[in-house]
Amino acid sequence: MNIYDIAKLAGVSIATVSRVVNDSPRVSEKTKQKVRAVMEENDYTPNVFARGLGLDSMKTIGIICPDVSDTYMARAVSFLEHRLREYGYDCILYCSGYQQEKKENAVELILKKRIDALILVGSTYAGHSEEDDGADYIREAAKKTPVFLINGKITGENVYSVYSTDEDAAYSAVSGMIESGRKRILYLSDSHSYSANKKLEGYERALREHGLPVLGELKLYAKNQVHYVRDILLARRALVFDAVFATDDGMAVGTVKYAHARGLKIPEDLSIIGYNNSELSVCCEPELTTVDNTGEKLCNMTVDNMMKVLNGEEVSQEIPVKCILVKRCTTDF
């Protein structure tokens, strides 16, 4: 059942049917009714491929994230999908993994789908250092379609970044711990991504501004898995620390487990702050103090921005969003 069939049945031309489909004003109400009736009756649906071919768009946005099974990204994808759908867009999802090669491959493949825009979720896409950010493939992609980063920053034509101010958040979280008497604060992270580095900067600045030394032994990298973190900490008996700032709740919960295993009291003996304010943060005992980086806000702003860009409006290429420290029971300030 195509536009010709409908035209024939309604006794009009395909042009008129097309106009009705697109609700053009220059069709008489009478013929509109007539054509609509025929369409209903035969439950006709315009062929999206044909339409796509003509308009060079299928109203589809590509979303790439390293791993949707990660809570943070799953939530982000959920927010994005909802907001995009409100605007009438569909989502193609691609989970790229964390390796540079796979990320480049993902971008390349998804671009072939002629998406209207591309969203990259997670700071892994923002590269490592400021100089060589390894993000040229993204700038290249931006020549074909607008690119939107969630929680990462890349400068370039046609690329837009919305990110949370992790440096600030880390600074004030760590400052809080220092001001409540902590002297040896462990920085616990699972990555060297853009946002992880920002958190590290905030951590170090807090130490420096409070006159504490920045020690290499107090920076620990691990997998973001509860038991993994617990065990790695248990294995380093010699390492002394009275507080932990983790860049993800999973690692913070691992630290809670470690404290239990060693009989340490939280927060008296060990103060802990997580990141992301995920479900996990209210599962452990005591419940985690954690940084909420307002994923929903980031996502909604990104989509709203995108719609403006697609409409040809001017838009800021860089939007920082403030984090919120959610105080629960693993800190005493």
Partner DNA sequence: TTGTAGGCGTTATCAC
Partner DNA sequence: GTGATAACGCCTACAA
Question: Which residues of this chain interact with DNA, rule CB under 7 A?
Answer: 2-4, 11-16, 18-19, 21-22, 25-28, 30-31, 44-47, 49-51, 53-56
Nearer Cβ to DNA (57/165): 57
Give the single-character DSSP code of 126.
G
3 binds, among a second copy, DNA, none (CB under 5 to 8 A by kind): DNA
Q: How far is CA 315 from CA 34, 120, 187, in A?
A: 43, 18, 36
Distance CA 155, CA 175 (A): 30
Distance CA 124, CA 248 (A): 14
Task: Report, in Å, the least distance between residue 158 CB and DNA.
Answer: 20
Distance CA 238, CA 71 (A): 33
Distance CA 118, CA 287 (A): 37
Nearer Cβ to a second copy (38/73): 73
82 binds a second copy (CB under 8 A): yes
**DSSP string over 228-259:** HHHHHHHH-TT---SEEEESSHHHHHHHHHHH
With the C-alpha atoms ordered 158, 159, 161, 167, is the resulting torsion angle positive or negative? negative
Nearer Cβ to DNA (12/266): 12
1 binds a second copy (CB under 8 A): no
Q: Which stretch binds a second copy (CB under 8 A): 52-60, 168-176, 189-197, 262-270?
A: 52-60
Q: Kindly provide the residue ranges of all beta strands, DSSP E only, lying in 80-215, ordered along the sequence.
A: 90-95, 117-121, 147-150, 159-164, 185-189
Nearer Cβ to DNA (47/316): 47
310 binds a second copy (CB under 8 A): no
Residues engaged in binding a second copy (CB under 8 A): 45, 47-50, 52-53, 56, 58, 60, 63, 67-71, 74-75, 77-79, 81-82, 85, 90-95, 110-114, 226-227, 250, 253, 256-257, 260, 279-280, 282-285
